[in-house]
A and B are shown apart, each in its own frame.
Chain A
Amino acid sequence: MTLQHRFSTTQLDGGTKLHVLVDNKFKTTAATLVLQTTLSRDSVTRNALLPRVIRRGTARIPDTVQLERRLEELFGASLDVGVSKKGLRQLLAFQVEVAEPAYVDSEQRLFREGMELLRDMVFQPALGSGGALRDDYVEQEKENLRRLIESLIDDKQAWAMRRCIEEMFHNDDIALFKYGRAEDISNISAADMKACHGQLVSSCPIDVFVVGACDEQSVIDDVTAVFSSVGPRVPVPPSPWQGCGADPGPNRPRFVVEAMDVNQGNLVMGFRTGLRMSERNWPALMVANGVFGRYSHSKLFQVVREREALAYSVWSMLDPTTGLLWVTAGIDFEAKDRCVELVQEELEAVKRGNVRRVELDNTLKGLARDFAVMADHPGSLIDFALEAEVNNVELSIDELSRAVAAVTLDDVAHAASSVSLDTVYFLTGEEDRPDEG
């Protein structure tokens, strides 16, 4: 099955790329503006703070309550901001979504009005004294960002994952949390944020993705008109991503155990592959990961859960930009060693090509389905387009899907042979606390 859904791209004056995908099965139109910058220790926290601050108000509608009321008047338009990272890139996303007017019995130009709000939020945020961003918003959002960063520990599996990547890369920027570092927050001023804003909007590449029940030409016209008031920009693309490397280095794998007041142990195993989306072996590695742990028919689920009843949740996942492969499992404290042993055994089986025909076939079918359903989820299409761009590769979902479909068992074993264990992290209970020192 082929995906008819493709973005059609227009270069706007001032260096912004507009990608439009018309699909009338949707009942809304969403515009997502993505700003890409380099992930670095010096700027990660300020960059993560910026979307939260400018979401509070625009120069035209500086008061947050008034902005919220405006959104309600636009039939519950949503205006969302977010931060993510891909390899050594930090991505800031700003999204407006409006209902197609016919479905709410309106003749208003909801998309045009939503686009204007999006533009104002990103390019003309509310300003306070001395032309800085509003001090009250900066201070409140600093506190909220601090709480957000610190609340990671409330989700034990996400916490274990974060700790594992920190243990793998220590002070390397690749290990930075997408929301930044709590210790950086207190020194940030409103003037710093104004400088951060100016620098990001003038020098970062900007992509605008529009998906929905819209008319392509009228979207291009609306966006062009709305962005015409934005001055010329000189985008400087971040340096291309060079990959994580396949070699875990000496003294690996490392084993790290930490204790907390928890009822269940959380195991995270971090593997390097040295491969990523741009490489020829990538499709084979995706299949290898599928056979290994992506699905409920995969080896990990079948062995760790169904055969040994050690876990309710046990999965593997693969990051297309870093090429890191993760295994996570929620298990009893005393099941750690057994579980690590089983995971390694199953990985060895994939490396040896010890994969039944049905395991390979089911994985190929599962991946084909996963690619096909992306057409129903605009967020996945946008994410894929960005992933390809960060990896500097011209690759469509169709092409990747076809490459995956052609993967053979030999390819799987060969790709799996590049997977090597770097770090095992285990979050255990207080009663199981490891000996100090």
Chain B
Amino acid sequence: MRDRLVIRSEHLREQVVCERLDSGLEVCTCSKPGFAKKYALLATRYGSNDVRFRVNGAEVDTPAGIAHFLEHKLFEEEEGSIDDVFAELGAYSNAFTNYNTTAYLFSCTDEFERSLKTLVDFVYRPHFTAESVEREKDIIEQEIRMGDDQPGWQIVSELMKSMYHAHPVRHDIAGTVESVRAISVDVLNKCYSTFYHPSNMTLFAVGDIEHGRVVDLVAGEMERFTHGPAPEVERVRPFEPGTVARARHTRKMAVSRPLVCMGFKDADVGYAGEKLSRKVVTCEILLSILAGRSSDLFMSMYNDGIIDTSFSWDYSFDRDYAMVTFDGRTPEPEAFVQRLVDGIGQFRRTALDLEAFERVRRMLAGTWVREFNSLEAITYQFIDYHFLDMSIFDRVRIASSVTEQEVKAMAEKLLNEPNMSVSVVMPA
């Protein structure tokens, strides 16, 4: 009998059950009775950041965009695409790559079990040919060019290059047209054998499903493959200073009005698990009080026309990088930045508004409940958190124990002008 780990939330009446198979693959499920859709995702801890690594002692340097390219090519079968098999099962299939994760997924209403087997089967049976690799380069070139015309994506891409001197997060997930041209079958095979060992991967299924049945099916399917011992992999990350690489970047595009994305680099990184969860929750509380819809700062900027409802903020994080961003459309980029900087200064100088602190914690509790209405939201949240050893159920408990001192300390440490960089897109 394998060990089962049950992660539970009493107040949400939800649970996730996790179990590691003999092959090393981890299987986690969340049972949602009454939902029509069934959804499964097979993810590996491998993303666009993992371009340089040491495997069994030897260092490998790969082209930017390789994880994403591999994701595209894994769909290829000896005869056509695995999409054909999913389509015959009436399932919808897709995949995505981000900075740290590559994931393959399907959703269906019938034929869940055969679709699940298909998912496991195609991910563990790579088939790359030189000819199809070459053809895929044209398709990915169009994907990159599509992104080149999306101002919302360009502004973040430039901010990453501004915030980071050397960390690979400064490179676009899909790479560049040039870096993609350099990809070969050999390097795809190397990356596959390094990062697609089952012990580096998690399968998550959600819907009106039963944990034991999912585990049996996946375990049965995994028996068809022999995987050697897990390779010893070390991700090579260059030294990254705490400062930003450039304070400002402006570019012109065919847009109606300027767009601004202003970031604060978090130099206090290297965490996972409960410690990172606590940082994330504290930061959400901090930003909601500082610049949420109910804040005086948001409202005064809104009333003066500096921002509109396109304004948003975010804390994005991983083990070795993290940042706060404020972004939105504005007629006056300078005023956008200055008003936020002033508002942050004011926030740091004055005592925390305790009424707002309580109110925002209530608001977040309700917001976290809403996530559990959507199987997609549960899946994405689970994988993001799980890969950082965080629990999606801990947030309410953590929020109730965060102190006003922690919120103030985080503002002091994180929202500092020397860590700040601004990315602007101006109308051409």
Contact = CB atoms under 8 A, between A and B. Distances in A.
Question: Is the pairing of A and B real?
Answer: yes
B237 interface: no
A306 B138 CA distance: 10
A62 B108 CA distance: 46
Contact of A154 (B34, B110, B151): B151
Contacts of A68: 292-294, 299
Contacts of B149: 156, 262-264
Interface size bucket, A side? 35 or more
Contact of A150 (B13, B257, B305): B257
B253 interface: yes
Given A154-B256, A297-B83, A311-B142, A65 B296 contact: yes
B37 A373 contact: yes
A315 to B, nearest CB: 13
Contacts of B302: 64, 140
Contact of A264 (B110, B146, B151, B256): B146
Interface in B60-81: 81
Interface in B364-421: 364-367, 369-370, 372-375
Nearest to B295: A65
A147 interface: yes
B33 A368 contact: no
A195 interface: no
Contact of B33 (A25, A27, A103, A372): A25
Interface in B241-265: 253-257, 259
A27 B254 contact: no
Contacts of A297: 83-84, 87
Interface size bucket, B side? 35 or more
A25 B36 CA distance: 10
Contacts of A361: 88
Contacts of B253: 261
* Most chain A CB neighbours (cut-off 10 Å) among B253, B360, B365, B374: B365
A144 B370 CA distance: 28
A318 interface: no
A49 interface: no
Given A151-B256, A376-B35, A65 B294 contact: yes
B142 A332 contact: yes
Interface in B284-334: 292-294, 296, 299, 302-303, 305, 308-310, 329, 331
A100 interface: yes
Contacts of B88: 358, 361-362, 365
Contacts of A311: 139, 142
A68 B107 CA distance: 36
A306 B329 CA distance: 37
B359 interface: yes
B145 A330 contact: yes
A105 interface: yes
B109 interface: yes
B369 A72 contact: no
Contacts of A202: none
Nearest 7 interchain pairs by C-beta:
A75-B366, A365-B90, A76-B366, A25-B34, A76-B363, A68-B294, A297-B87
Interface of B: 11-13, 32-37, 81, 83-84, 87-93, 107-110, 135-136, 138-140, 142-143, 145-146, 148-152, 253-257, 259, 292-294, 296, 299, 302-303, 305, 308-310, 329, 331, 359-360, 362-367, 369-370, 372-375, 428
29 contacts: A26-B373, A27-B373, A65-B294, A68-B294, A72-B360, A76-B364, A76-B367, A76-B370, A97-B370, A99-B370, A100-B369, A104-B366, A144-B309, A147-B308, A150-B257, A153-B254, A154-B152, A154-B259, A260-B254, A261-B428, A262-B254, A297-B87, A332-B145, A366-B92, A369-B90, A372-B109, A373-B37, A376-B35, A376-B37
